[in-house]
Structure 1
């Protein structure tokens, strides 16, 4: 956790709602101070102070970029604040005629409005239309951490597409292809049966080395990573992982998918290829696979 002013500055929703809440709170506290205390409901003082604490919490969570981790907590706190402000409005408007009370009531009404907006946003699902519309204005996209597991259809195929290779094949490679028809059949079957290649479909290809193939076109946007069984990951060449991420939740890999890896909450993972919903990841024990991006958070 580190202080990030950009997390607040880059989010117009956070700046606008926090500014609106601070102005509303100032109106409420000014009205409360100018009121005749003999006619002022003492319960409202506690509500005003409580509202200030909630505003400070939200500001701190945004500045340290941990707002996603406390959304459900904030929904509960804001619900209590909403009850306080609406009840204070009822007491201030219908039971007194003091101008200071009316000013405080106006501030409480504004606070009730911003509390309701926060409840709808923080309590809404990240993929709901309202949340997606609000987040679309953010300069720094937040990582959604709610418990949502993308379907298997969201996974980016990891099969090497033979149509991507435009360069010529060297004679050395031709010599090692003793049964090219069989290997071509294996690649075709892999693409037709699913997005991943099993270890049985890779039989006969284990003797290939990068030195046997000329430079290929690596500018394609498709992923070209093939994961073998997790039991053989320790023997596979190590990949370069440029980032580190912290697990926000524990995740159990699908036993039917040999490419996924399991991890526990707060575990530090090395990750790469972070442009999709499934990231390449490596655990501390050397296990390599893919993990859902909404279960982890990038570290600076």
Structure 2
């Protein structure tokens, strides 16, 4: 848990809804204070105070970057506030024409609107259309981003990976020009050059991997062992279980509460490694960085 004002300021949805909620609560309090207290319903005062407490809780969760962990709890708390506000609106509007009553009712109507928005957002799945649209404006890389099985994202949202280095054969200098071994070696070298020049796509396609099937098992072991063991600097905990897209060989599946080693955490898809050594990419809004 990292308390930072940037966690809140980097999310336009949080800034808009929390600010709108605070302004609405101020309007409701001003109207309640100006109303005739002998006729003013006491449960409306309690509903306004309860609503302010809920708004403060949401603000603190955003500041601590733990809003994802309490979404379902917030739905219950906000639903109670929504009921208080709607009951107050019905009482304040139809009881009297006092200006204080009507001002408080206007504040409660605005609070009901923001509560309804919060219920739809916090109660929705991260892949729902409404959540995807709202999260598209967020400046944060986690949090409740849009998942696309085809990864049709901007290039700077992709995970950067180190270029694959093919194993070096010390015996290549002894190959005779024109021999099948010599031609095969040249083919591998040309494919390596092509792959290293392909900077527009972070992962090699199946067409770029043609020729690798000619390597022996020892070559594959050398290739796997060439990755630095400490290249994953961070650890993350899975918030939900995730099943990899079977059509994308770059994705990995994982279970809820599983600890992953991650790297390149700036985009919506992070490079990750499971405890069994499986390496691939995972959606950033399904995991949470550990301190």
Identify whether the pair has TM-score above 0.5, normalized to the shorter chain. Answer: yes
Is 1:272 aligned to residue 263 of structure 2?
yes
Q: Point out where structure 1 has 5 or more consecutive residues left out of the alignment.
A: 188-192, 211-225
TM-superposed CA distance for 1:19, in Å, is 1.6
Is 1:72 aligned to residue 72 of structure 2?
yes
- Whether contact under 8 Å (1:30, 1:104) holds in the other structure is yes
Distance 1:61 1:12 in 2: 15
CA RMSD of aligned residues (A): 4.6
Rate the CA distance shift 1:121–1:30 in 2: closer, same or farther, 3 A.
same
- Whether contact under 8 Å (1:25, 1:107) holds in the other structure is yes
Rate the CA distance shift 1:278–1:18 in 2: closer, same or farther, 3 A.
closer
TM-superposed CA distance for 1:98, in Å, is 2.6
Q: Deviations over 1:184-230 (max 9, x none)?
A: 69x9xxxxx96998xx94751524898xxxxxxxxxxxxxxx7x7xx
- Whether contact under 8 Å (1:21, 1:111) holds in the other structure is yes
**Which deviates the most, 91-100 or 52-61?**
91-100
What TM-score, normalized to structure 1? 0.67
Q: Point out where structure 2 has 5 or more consecutive residues left out of the alignment.
A: 192-204
Q: Secondary structure at the match of 1:137?
A: coil
Q: How does 1:46-125 map to 2 (within 5 A)?
A: 46-125=46-125
TM-superposed CA distance for 1:46, in Å, is 2.4
Is 1:140 aligned to residue 131 of structure 2?
no
TM-superposed CA distance for 1:110, in Å, is 1.4
Q: Secondary structure at the match of 2:271?
A: strand
Rate the CA distance shift 1:270–1:58 in 2: closer, same or farther, 3 A.
same
Match of 1:17 in 2: 17
- Whether contact under 8 Å (1:85, 1:109) holds in the other structure is yes
Q: Secondary structure at the match of 1:21?
A: helix
Distance 2:164 2:276 in 1: 27
Distance 2:32 2:75 in 1: 26
